[in-house]
Amino acid sequence: MIVSGFTFNAFSENTYLLHDATKQCVVIDPGCYEKAEQQALKAFIESEGLQVVLLLNTHCHIDHVFGNQFIIDTFQVSFLIHEADLSVLRAVPTYAPSYGFPHYNPAEPTGFLTPGEPITFGETTLEVRFAPGHAPGHVVFYHEPTQVVIGGDVLFQGSIGRTDLPGGNYDTLIESIRTQLLTLPDSVTVYPGHGPATTIGTERRSNPFLR
């Protein structure tokens, strides 16, 4: 499995494309708000000959959902989130204009993710792990064969997700990290929702929030 990343919008959010030798592709957390960002993502998909088959959100804060409807309209795919984040998603239109995003186009999920039930595309199977604390319905996606986890806003290089937003809880987040991420091998690469990639081993040893 190949991970292709893009950084979009004023929040410097990381959007990920997961694809494999079959050219099937899953889009995770499309943060593309501006037309130029949307076209850059579309151009990459077309240049690589990828077939987008599914849209996933790790969680539904504003910076991770800007491009949801664009992906749905462009590629005619299903859109899945954890049901516990539905209220978070539906709240975005109420505050998007005050954050300077008056043209946000909301999307409704077509179904829900269930932790423990795999997501499959092409030759790839992703494990869905429930990791609340930053958001009530936060999930991460783990691909064991390539030792990769798409971690959203749970664990960052030297930091962790904020917990002061509605539905956030510090103790819950720490528990999620300890049970859903630190149980993975040290060699696993974490692709976070913001900032550079890191590894489980690096964060286990040096992250000040996990000591």
Which CATH number is 105's domain given?
A: 3.60.15.10
Count the neighbouring beta carbons within 10 Å of the beta carbon of residue 35.
10
Domain that holds residue 120: 2-210
Report CA 103 to chain centroid distance, whole Å: 22
Is residue 78 within 8 Å of residue 55, measured between CB atoms?
yes
Residues 17 and 4: their CA atoms lie apart, in Å, by 5
CA atoms within 13 A on the CB side of 165: 20
pLDDT (tens digit, 9 = 90+) per residue, 45-99?
999 999 999 999 999 999 999 999 999 999 999 999 999 999 999 999 999 999 9
> What is the average pLDDT score of the chain?
98
pLDDT above 90: residue 211: no
The helix/strand/coil state of 25 is strand
Pairing verdict, β 189-192 and 159-160? unpaired
Name the domain count of the chain: 1
pLDDT (tens digit, 9 = 90+) per residue, 140-178?
999 999 999 999 999 999 999 999 999 999 999 999 999
At 114, list the tokens: 């269930």
